[in-house]
Structure 1
Amino acid sequence: MDRQLVVLLGPDYAGKSSVMAELSAALPGWQTLSTDSERVGAEHQLIARLRRNVVEDVLPELGKAYSAEFLASLLQTAVVHLRDQVERADPGTPLLVDSYYYKILAKCRLAGLKDHPLYGWWRAFPRPSAVIYLDVSPESAWRRSDGGRRLNSLEHYGESPEWFAFENYQTDLRKLMLEEIRGLPVTTIGEQPDAAGTADAVREVLAA
């Protein structure tokens, strides 16, 4: 792919959303792509609604009213939306994409779908030119989650958001994401004191 396509990746509560907001204003020459509600255009509000439906309706009933396959089918709408945005963007404009398909694929695997035909399709999407991985310790992520009170069931193991269930899940999530991006140019940014500091560190990497 003859364009600059950089993926911003990280575990839960790494601060990607806040960093994307900072960078959207600080990098006027770049286009930032995300499925966060505040970053989805008016013409794509279905994506934001589906994301809310997953959290509010599907996750509480996962394994009961809804299967892991059904969850993956809904999550792939976000993956395909980002792919569409990448392919429709001006070829001369560098892109910074939030997570791309990597985090969703890892979470689907942790939900029980160890392998699925969708994965092969996602892996055939336009290849990033680089990945910037925002690292954060499970301890810091736990604090940012308000001691587990803000967690959904795709951020921890088991039914209850306990510390060890969260720590084990985040450790496995990190391992799977890094496994998925193996072979790509990856720059890891260590934990920063705030979103502004992380955004500055990302800008340095992009300018290098």
Structure 2
Amino acid sequence: MKTINKLIGLSILTAALFISSPVFALEWKGGVDFMFGKKELDSDWTPVDSWQEFGVMLSFTEADLPFGITLGYLTGNDDSLSVSEGRGINIEGQTDEFLLGLRKEFSPPQADFFRVYINGGYTAIKWDIETTYSNAGAVSGSTEEDDWAHGFWLGGGMYFIFAKNAAIGIDYKYTDASSDINTAFGERTLEAGGSHYSAFVGWRF
């Protein structure tokens, strides 16, 4: 529930800031989409390399400009517990992704209720991996690594408009972002991006 509240609050705040800015003097149209889906990460994250993901995407387009603006937030996490001879290891991973980019929409002639889009741009990902060790059910220690990863994202999707302003569709994104971390075996690169498969419901304004 806290995650959903954050997404709704972020949507309202971003829309309010955009509407109050000078660029809103142009004839902008926009939309907000609530995403529900799955993220598949790089093998660096085994055994927590796939999880459910939620997010929100905002988009703004203007008829006289070749591209629109899009920004969003995606979050997800998962954990995996393995136990052997009374000793357990629980690994929990999480990513919070912030996206900013350009968006282009297309619609077939005489079928404005159906639209296809492509988008892409810059992404910043806050990642976290926590490992907890236990012995006979009691926690014996833990380690945690977290950092920011920066990179790019590309994607596209399609949606239908119904009831005048409501929208429903599907979306795919690929994010590529990494950061260098220090381990007992030296420095290595951790990939924090991955493939995002989502369905969404939204509103056009």
Tell me the TM-score normalised to structure 2 length.
0.24
Q: Which has the higher strand share?
A: 2
Higher gyration radius (CA): 2
Please state which structure has a larger fraction of its residues in helix: 1
TM-score (norm 1): 0.24
Higher relative contact order (CA 8 A, sep 6+): 1
